[in-house]
Amino acid sequence: MNSKQIHEMGVAELAAAIRHQQTSSVEAAQTLLARAKQHSNLGAYLAFNEELTLKQAEAADARIAAGERGPLLGVPLAHKDIFVTQGFPSTAGSKMLEGYQSPFDATVVSQLAAAGAVTLGKLNCDEFAMGGSNENSAYGVVRNPWDTTRVPGGSSGGSAVAVAARLAPATTGTDTGGSIRQPASFCGITGIKPTYGRCSRYGMIAFASSLDQAGPMAHSAADCATLLSVMAGPDIDRDSTSLDHPAEDYTRLLGQPREGATAAQPLKGLRIGLPQEFFGAGCAPDVIAAMRAALAEYEKLGATLVDISLPRTELAIPVYYIIAPAEASSNLSRFDGVKFGHRAAQYDDLIDMYKKSRSEGFGPEVQRRIMIGTYVLSHGYYDAYYLKAQQIRRLIAQDFQNAFEQCDVIAGPAAPTVAWKIGEKSDDPVANYLADIYTLPGSLAGLPGMSVPAGFGEGGLPVGLQLIGNYFKEAELLQAAHAFQQATDWHKRAPAL
């Protein structure tokens, strides 16, 4: 019998407790809903539909009673409010979509539901996933449960906080330029963004289509592997950039020693590349110290450390902040008060209606990005900005391929500092953009990356170790993260609430 309380359990433990009838899906859902409401001051959840949640939980309990088994059957989860979800509002954290109800489920949502997962609710995020602190949500800030005066990171801030504060055993997030990895790092949880195109973008409200990718956030790499196995897979009829690559079992290498390695040194032969650009003066000393300790642990597990270079790391910021706004300006043109979104109550004519609806519906950061994006795509500036950025993006991807000649996995911090104070960077968009420096290069290259809890820094705040793999190397990344989590207990720490 597991002596943990329901909210303390991760996905595997909770699924087992439900399977062994130590609890039920209904009881688990009720417990987590009550806890989520009790901690509403954190701002993690935006919406519940208790009736629907309990109906789903009853259906899962019936499937179990009928003898069905599955790693997610009956497990309550919650979704970032960027995934459209039937029966719940889907707002993308924007006033533009206030009260919007989708007539269909995002593919990621429907795949998890088919596996028997139960939806607890929708989670706060930066508006249209634009941000790295969750301060850009139209529905209020999300608070870091390790220190409620700090940001949780973003844009999947609600998703990270729900897991860290034990308001859900796992959640979905999206990562365009770091939005799974950075909040996972700030909140002391595990999150993985797979190779671009691995999870369907169908029903994921678009920000920057060539970068957006879904992924799971959970206590451990093992739980992330279980979720990702269900979330990923081809959806080529509904998402034109979905990869036509069969679904995989991402748990297959967990706990397995690498080929030729031993149980004592399961990662023997693993070459971990350390980009010099990720360990420079821009990275805070407390973060570097946590990195060094984590890397020493990896050496004990048999890995070897190799110095590498990703020479265009700094360029990732201007390149991303041209390409992502360019794509956003195009994607967000659909919110015009006619096809989608808020419509102003009073206007003179059609153009005035567009202007007022968009000015009222979009927050300042979204408006800023639409303006930047429209500018860099405009005649006369396209070649100088957008085209140039695309060319450098290609070189950044090439830098990674050069690095992977020397190593199997790349490691470094997920973010240059621990979570900052709410409001600290609010007036300075560029300061926010600079904090994305270690996650943007992998995003631009479309590579899989994850953040693994690796200790605590200044103020007792969590620090995440980022692991980046080559295309389709999710299973190897998860294996490396799992081996670390077998040897450490950072991922088991939870804030006192």
Mask 151-170, x = binds ligand GLN (CB under 6 A)? ----x---------------
> Per DSSP, which regions of 233-284 are E strands?
271-275
Tell me which of 24, 102, 159, 179 is the catalytic residue. Answer: 179
Residues 72 to 91 in contact with ligand GLN, rule: CB under 6 A: none
Pairing status of strand 462-469 against strand 409-413: antiparallel
Active-site residue 155, yes or no?
yes
448 binds ligand GLN (CB under 6 A): no
273 binds ligand GLN (CB under 6 A): no
**Residues that contact ligand GLN, how many (by CB under 6 A):** 13
Q: Cβ closer to ligand GLN: 7 or 193?
A: 193
Q: Cβ closer to ligand GLN: 270 or 437?
A: 437
Q: Cβ closer to ligand GLN: 395 or 431?
A: 431
Tell me which of 24, 25, 80, 193 is the catalytic residue. Answer: 80
Dig out the tokens for 72 from the structure. Answer: 């997610």
To ligand GLN, the closest distance from the beta carbon of 18 in angstroms equals 32
Which amino acid does the sequence have at 451? S
327 binds ligand GLN (CB under 6 A): no
CA–centroid distance for 188 within its chain? 13
Tell me which of 25, 94, 137, 155 is the catalytic residue. Answer: 155
To ligand GLN, the closest distance from the beta carbon of 430 in angstroms equals 11
To ligand GLN, the closest distance from the beta carbon of 94 in angstroms equals 13
In 3-state terms the chain splits into helix, strand, coil percentages (rounded to 5) of 40, 15, 45
Dig out the tokens for 3 from the structure. Answer: 């002596």
> Counting runs of H as helices and runs of E as strands, what totals does the chain give?
15, 11
Rounded to an integer, what distance in angstroms lies between the CA atom of residue 343 and that of residue 334?
12
Strand, coil or helix: 232: strand
Residues 101 to 140 in contact with ligand GLN, rule: CB under 6 A: 129-132
Distance from first CA to last CA of the chain, Å, rounded?
25
To ligand GLN, the closest distance from the beta carbon of 208 in angstroms equals 8
Pairing status of strand 76-80 against strand 118-123: parallel
Active-site residue 179, yes or no?
yes
| C-beta separation of 418 from 461 below 8 A | yes
To ligand GLN, the closest distance from the beta carbon of 377 in angstroms equals 17
Active-site residue 329, yes or no?
no
Dig out the tokens for 183 from the structure. Answer: 């909040």
Choosing from 90, 179, 229, 357, the residue that interacts with ligand GLN (CB under 6 A) is 179
436 binds ligand GLN (CB under 6 A): yes
To ligand GLN, the closest distance from the beta carbon of 217 in angstroms equals 13
Rounded to an integer, what distance in angstroms lies between the CA atom of residue 403 and that of residue 389?
21
Dig out the tokens for 403 from the structure. Answer: 């690095």
Q: Cβ closer to ligand GLN: 301 or 450?
A: 450
Rounded to an integer, what distance in angstroms lies between the CA atom of residue 323 and that of residue 388?
10
Question: Where do contacts with ligand GLN occur on this chain (CB under 6 A)?
Answer: 129-132, 155, 175-179, 207, 324, 436
